[in-house]
Chains A and B, each alone.
Chain A
């Protein structure tokens, strides 16, 4: 087992296709293509382009890294399903990495990671040596008790959240796809479970409104 792995990572949990390639422990290519739709069509061709550009074959990969969200349910599944297929066909591990963890990776101070969850909500996770918390889906009005004195806020909604909680903000140490291959590089040899989407909320489904009739034995 090498400690300088070759890992291909990708994420489609937001309105983009992002990917990064680590070759022998060093990130060599990272790409991000913004798109509102079409990620399912674009993902694999983009990965093949990146591999070709780096002169790396599929079989040279030691692991696959994949963003598991939170974010768009369909987008997360696009990447997770592809990662599971690649892992199965290549016989290498697929490492699921939360994008909240990817945001915090590489920052030494305790971090409050945040992502927009729409409808006035945030996905939050606190990375802290003694007071870790989350990930959770939190209403914008309920963020008060997430603050700690030594936290730094990182993520797309960090500016507003930092102002609200009186916390400093910072940029992530690495772009998202690059961060997720770097996270995967720390645990690809020990990963036990296949990547699973981080949905953070139950499927919208309600039992039928009309109750079944009472049955009278005859």
Chain B
């Protein structure tokens, strides 16, 4: 008899609920997955506004849960537990999800399972493809960028990651600087198709240094300078210049991600995994050029490659339910005093890369 969990996700700007079971066949696992985006709410602000996101989550989450239950043709009382993103993320949204989940758990008597949002992304290749542990994971999204060796449902070794911006954030900022619509990932990628990536040679930060850490904030500054140069010359930004800027920017991100992933592959192979895999997840993994470059590095170094379908690459609650299923197979459920955590590194042993202030490492 498969176990079935409700999953709840609200750590950024997607309000999501899903019903997922641990059936043997991956095709039969996701019984429903509802994702309600908030793009239009944040459109005027050039990025996600935490308070606006939190307000939307607080009033949409229970509706999403009911939709997910209806779509799966089930009821809360027929489930085996409730998994909820308990961090890391924008705290107002995470808190809304955690409190909703506590209310659902108290009223239904179902166990409550607090899930790390990043573990949700990192375990998605097991939900979709039954990937064997250990596998190498590049998690690359609007808020995160990490190279992880996934050894078990709650065992992660971080091999490297960004020391400043996440690539998805850089795509969004690029779109804003170039008057392209948000979210920036798809609009920059589309525009880059008509551009010449060799015209602007943007920096590849940290490529000259050993290790798997990355940096993307300097790239944004370089893009701004090149853009201002074009504007000064022509009194505005010509569409051809814009396309070339997009292509040059995308190429720089691609090269950094490919090279650092290649180094992480070498690390990962030192432990001689029986069936070596590279998996990528996160919204940036939807970028065709970046995906192709990663796939080719994996093949060159003898790894199989997988990227979950886009709807499971970007934020969703099916991955949270799945991570809850894996976690609860070996760990006790959480109590109703579960905390929402803005910061929650997956690998508690690695040195913090980001926000190592008094609040602790972000990721």
> B54 near A77 (CB under 8 angstroms)?
yes
Question: Could you tell me if A212 and B106 are in contact, using CB atoms closer than 8 angstroms?
Answer: no
Complex Cα gap A200–B262 (Å): 52
Contact of A205 among B52, B61, B62, B231 (CB under 8 A): B52
Query: Is residue B225 contacting chain A, with contact meaning CB distance below 8 A?
Result: no
Contacts of A84 in B (CB 8 A): 61-62, 100, 103
Which chain B residues lie closer than 8 Å to A212 at the CB level? 176-179
Q: Is the CB of A85 within 8 A of B337?
A: no
- Tally inter-chain residue pairs, CB-CB below 8 A: 150
Contact, CB under 8 Å: B49 / A82: no
List which B35-91 residues lie within 8 A (CB) of chain A. Answer: 44-47, 49, 51-52, 54-55, 58-59, 61-62, 65-66, 76, 91
Kindly provide the distance from the CB of A9 to the nearest chain B CB, expressed in whole angstroms.
Answer: 14
Q: Is A89's CB within 8 Å of the partner chain B? A: yes
CA distance A218 to B97 in the complex (A): 48
Complex Cα gap A149–B339 (Å) = 49
Closest to A41 in B: B337
| A174: interface (CB < 8 Å) | no
Q: Is A55 at the interface (CB under 8 A from chain B)?
A: no
Docked pose: A74 CA to B109 CA in angstroms: 26
Smallest Cβ distance from A50 to chain B, in angstroms? Answer: 12
For chain A, the count of residues having a C-beta within 8 Å of the partner chain is 42
Q: CA of A42 to CA of B99 in the docked complex: distance in angstroms? A: 11
Known A-B contacts A44-B106, A89-B76, A218-B240; the reply to A82 vs B95 at CB < 8 A is no
> Are A45 and B236 in contact, with the CB atoms below 8 A?
no
With A73-B54, A90-B107 in contact, is A206–B99 under 8 Å at CB?
no
Provide the bound-state CA to CA distance between A83 and B335, in Å. Answer: 18
- Residues of chain B within 8 A of A208, CB atoms compared: 45-47, 176
B235 close to A (CB within 8 Å): yes
Question: Are A213 and B179 in contact, with the CB atoms below 8 A?
Answer: yes
Known pairs A74-B92, A208-B46; A40 contacts B99 (CB<8 A): yes
Chain A residue contacts of B340, Cβ below 8 A: 40
Residues 208-237 of chain B: 1 if any A CB is under 8 Å from the residue's CB, otherwise 0? Answer: 000000000000000000010001001111
| Distance between Cα atoms of A123 and B68 in the complex (Å) | 38
From A102-110, A158-166, A178-186, A191-199, the one touching the partner chain is A191-199
State in angstroms the CA–CA spacing of A80 and B59 once bound together.
Answer: 9
Task: Verify B62–A213 contact, CB threshold 8 A.
Answer: no
Q: Are B103 and A83 in contact, CB atoms less than 8 angstroms apart? A: yes
Check if B269 is an interface residue, CB within 8 A of chain A.
Answer: no
Known A-B contacts A80-B58, A81-B95, A207-B46; A214 and B103 likewise in contact (beta carbons under 8 Å): no
User: Do most interface residues of chain B lie in helix, strand or loop, or is the interface mixed?
Assistant: helix
Tell me the count of chain B residues lying within 8 A, CB to CB, of chain A: 53
Contacting B104 at CB < 8 Å: which of A41, A88, A204, A215? A88
CB-contact partner of A206 in B45, B54, B98, B108, under 8 A: B45
A117 contacts B by Cβ under 8 Å: no
A 64-107 to B, binary, CB cutoff 8 A, 1 in contact else 0: 00000000011001111111111111100000000000000000
List residues of chain A with CB within 8 A of the CB of B65: 88
Other-chain residue from A78, A83, A203 in contact with B55 (beta carbon distance below 8 A):
A203
Nearest neighbor of A92 in chain B, beta-carbon distance: B107
- Kindly list chain B residues whose C-beta atoms are within 8 Å of the C-beta of A41: 337-339
A129 within 8 A of partner (CB): no
Is B239 part of the contact surface with A, judged by Cβ < 8 Å? yes
Known: A73-B54, A213-B231. Is A81-B103 also a contact (CB below 8 A)? yes
Does B238 count as interface, using CB distance less than 8 angstroms? Answer: yes
Residue of B nearest to A208 (CB): B46
Q: Contact flags (1/0) for B98-116 with A, using CB distance below 8 Å?
A: 1111111111110000000
Instruction: Tell me how far the C-beta of A122 lies from the nearest C-beta in chain B, rounded to whole angstroms.
Output: 22
Q: Is the CB of A216 within 8 A of B107?
A: no
A89-B103 CB under 8 A given contacts A45-B337, A77-B95: yes
Q: Contact: A77 with B58, CB < 8 Å?
A: yes
**B96 in the interface, Cβ–Cβ < 8 Å?**
yes
Cβ of B105: which chain A residues have Cβ within 8 Å of it?
A: 85, 89
Query: B291 at the A/B interface (Cβ < 8 Å)?
Result: no
Give Cα A82–Cα B237 distance, bound, in whole angstroms: 50
Residues on A with beta carbons closer than 8 Å to the beta carbon of B54: 73-74, 77
Residues of A within 8 A of B234 (CB): 216
Q: Does A47 contact B (CB under 8 A)?
A: yes
In the assembly, what is the distance between CA of A215 and CA of B245, in Å? 13
B181 to chain A, nearest CB (A): 10
Residue of A nearest to B10 (CB): A81
Residue contact A85 to B104, C-beta cutoff 8 Å: yes
CB distance from A42 to the nearest CB of B (A): 7
B242 interface residue per 8 A CB criterion: yes
Contact check, B44 vs A207: say whether CB atoms are below 8 A apart: yes
Question: Contact: B336 with A48, CB < 8 Å?
Answer: yes
Can you report 7 A-B residue pairs in the complex whose CB atoms are below 8 A from each other?
A58-B109, A77-B58, A78-B95, A81-B95, A85-B104, A86-B107, A212-B176
B contact set with A: CB distance below 8 Å: 44-47, 49, 51-52, 54-55, 58-59, 61-62, 65-66, 76, 91-92, 95-109, 176-179, 227, 231, 234-240, 242, 335-340
Give 7 new A-B contacts, CB below 8 A, not counting A77-B92, A89-B105, A89-B108.
A43-B99, A73-B54, A85-B102, A85-B106, A208-B176, A213-B177, A213-B231
Q: A residues engaging B (CB < 8 A)?
A: 40-45, 47-48, 58, 73-74, 77-90, 194, 196-197, 199, 203-208, 212-218
